[in-house]
A and B are shown apart, each in its own frame.
Chain A
Amino acid sequence: MADDDRTEKLRDAIDAIAKEQKTIGCAVSVRDYNGDFRFGHHADRLFHAASTIKVAILLAVMKAVDEGGAKLEDALHVRNRFLSVVDGTPYKLDRSSDGYPQLYKSIGRTAKISELADSMITSSSNLATNLLLDFVGTDEAAKVLRDAGVNGVHLRRGVEDENAYDEGINNETTADGMVELFAVFRGDFLSKKSRDHAIHILLNQRFTSMIPAGLPAHATVAHKTGEISTVCHDAGIVYLPEREPYIVAILTEVDSDKNGRRDTVAKVSEVVYKAVTGKAK
């Protein structure tokens, strides 16, 4: 199938799903390493990044490791006290809404950077995220994104920084930005060791009801989901043993009281898989 046809059919399929699921916004970006197929649908639309921003922090941590600023086995003080980027006001995270509440038992003691990076991604721990961002620094992490050539992901603050939220300072991303970010884990910006480590963490993702749900059982995905009341995202690298991988980012904006939001992303993942491989799931 010619790429133009493929693009058009995929666009129609995504629009049909978005209409059926009544999404407010649905953006998709695809980069296939098996050929040169690239696809974008509203791929430059900015969304609240939600927890997908944690991939950017993972990149900054691994870059710090490569540059000798940190070691994965280093211990970091675990505390629930962070400073707002707006005015330096201290704030703390809500344990009940954290994907990894067990980490709060370590408050006062230390945890290894490798363990924090793992729980930030696989369990989407907000506490681990803010500890790592506090360690590498928000400005430094944003600089790492720029140095890596990731232009569509905007890292501006830690998780649950309400003062920043009230000022409209949020972490944002486009679908293209997420694909750029995941592509860094396949390039030479990081050492091979750090790339492999990051991919290993992303492959161990616990939340599998979105992109993986739209794929055949033999697919593996190095990915990160992100959900808040009004957005539901998933982005990652899809590995299939019979071919080179592809990167896909599926970002959606939804009504806060809408059910089935993860299904929407899974359905889009399925039509992307079909368009990329030419096979039905």
Chain B
Amino acid sequence: MSELDLEVVDGLKLSEEHRKLLRPGEPVEDENGNSHRLPRFFFSVPNWKRAHEIKLASHFTLAELMTVDCREADLLLEEFPHYVPCAVTLIARYLEDLRREADAVILVGANGGYRSPVHQRNEPKSSHCWATAADIYRVGSTYLDDEKSISKYADMAQSLGPQVFARPYTQGDDHLHIDLGFIAVTPRNWSEE
């Protein structure tokens, strides 16, 4: 069990079906052609009720960072447990900081938190596969769908620390993407051997 009262699993010991989809520890290329190893250790989420109960930070539940649509693989979408990389706690912490800075509710969109490597919106592989990214579509009552609002909160997110990347506005954006890069967490008491 982790501090979150969730079982931690080694992805390499999951069923073959799950390993084929989650590809734990496998190297993949990002949009710039750089190679990164996918996460190996996951929280095992037994059901949606638990996902809604578990607070990763004061104002962010696990459910908010693992909601995907039917572009996710059927097995990962429909069958429990769901597996979420352990680094998900880190992005939640920064979202909480951003909420404090903005003094407003931060809403992460569907498909805007963790997405598995086989999610249809994950080609090429993005930091969403590491659960270290969040697509914010709304801050308070403001929908982030124009340059002014996206730039404002991108600057705010960037000010939280050099480890935070906030994607600058490009034409037609309907959310602010922030991420912490490709962090794969090995939980305490677990070996990578």
Q: A113 contacts B174, CB within 8 Å?
A: no
Measured CB to CB, the closest approach of chain A to B159, in angstroms, equals 24
Select which of A90, A92, A109 is within 8 A of B110 by beta carbon.
A109
Q: Which chain B residue has the least Cβ–Cβ distance from A109?
A: B110
Task: Decide if A229 is an interface residue (CB 8 Å cutoff).
Answer: no
Flag the segment in B1-9, B84-92, B137-145 that touches A. Answer: B137-145
A61-110 contacts to B (CB < 8 Å): 70-71, 74-81, 89-92, 107-110
Q: Which chain A residue has the least Cβ–Cβ distance from B170?
A: A90
Select which of A71, A89, A110 is within 8 A of B171 by beta carbon.
A89
| A-B contacts, 8 listed (Cβ < 8 Å) | A70-B70, A71-B70, A77-B109, A81-B174, A92-B172, A109-B110, A113-B70, A135-B70
Q: Which chain B residue has the least Cβ–Cβ distance from A71?
A: B70
Q: B171 contacts A77, CB within 8 Å?
A: no
Q: B143 contacts A81, CB within 8 Å?
A: no
Select which of B70, B112, B174 is within 8 A of A80 by beta carbon.
B174
Select which of B110, B111, B112, B172 is within 8 A of A81 by beta carbon.
B172
Query: Given A108-B107, A109-B110, A74–B69 Cβ distance below 8 Å?
Result: yes
Task: Give residues in B with beta carbon < 8 Å to A.
Answer: 67, 69-71, 107, 109-112, 137-138, 143, 145, 171-175
Q: A75 contacts B174, CB within 8 Å?
A: no
A79 to B145, CA, bound (A): 10
A66 to B138, CA, bound (A): 36
Q: B109 contacts A76, CB within 8 Å?
A: no
**Nearest 3 CB-CB pairings of A with B:** A90-B172, A74-B70, A108-B137
Residues of A with C-beta under 8 A to B71: 77
Q: Which chain A residue has the least Cβ–Cβ distance from B171?
A: A90
Q: B110 contacts A77, CB within 8 Å?
A: yes
A76 to B111, CA, bound (A): 10
Residues of A with C-beta under 8 A to B69: 74-77, 110
A45 to B111, CA, bound (A): 43
Q: Which chain B residue has the least Cβ–Cβ distance from A113?
A: B70
Measured CB to CB, the closest approach of chain A to B113, in angstroms, equals 12
A78 to B137, CA, bound (A): 11
Judged by DSSP, the binding face of A is loop
A113 to B107, CA, bound (A): 23
Q: A110 contacts B67, CB within 8 Å?
A: yes
Residues of B with C-beta under 8 A to A109: 109-110
Residues of A with C-beta under 8 A to B171: 89-90
Residues of A with C-beta under 8 A to B70: 70-71, 74-76, 113, 135
A193 to B135, CA, bound (A): 37
Measured CB to CB, the closest approach of chain A to B99, in angstroms, equals 16
Residues of A with C-beta under 8 A to B110: 75, 77-78, 108-110
Q: Which chain A residue has the least Cβ–Cβ distance from B112?
A: A108
Q: B143 contacts A107, CB within 8 Å?
A: yes
Residues of B with C-beta under 8 A to A78: 110
Measured CB to CB, the closest approach of chain A to B114, in angstroms, equals 14
Measured CB to CB, the closest approach of chain A to B165, in angstroms, equals 21
Q: A80 contacts B67, CB within 8 Å?
A: no
Q: A92 contacts B109, CB within 8 Å?
A: no
Select which of A75, A90, A108 is within 8 A of B138 by beta carbon.
A108
Query: Given A76-B69, A77-B111, A107–B137 Cβ distance below 8 Å?
Result: yes
Q: Which chain B residue has the least Cβ–Cβ distance from A80?
A: B174
A108 to B172, CA, bound (A): 15
Query: Given A74-B69, A108-B110, A80–B145 Cβ distance below 8 Å?
Result: yes
Residues of B with C-beta under 8 A to A77: 69, 71, 109-111
Q: Which chain B residue has the least Cβ–Cβ distance from A73?
A: B70
Q: Which chain A residue has the least Cβ–Cβ distance from B144?
A: A108
Measured CB to CB, the closest approach of chain B to A127, in angstroms, equals 12
Residues of B with C-beta under 8 A to A80: 145, 174
Residues of B with C-beta under 8 A to A108: 107, 109-110, 112, 137-138, 143, 175
Choose among A75, A81, A135 the residue with the greatest number of B CB atoms under 10 Å from its CB: A75
A232 to B107, CA, bound (A): 41
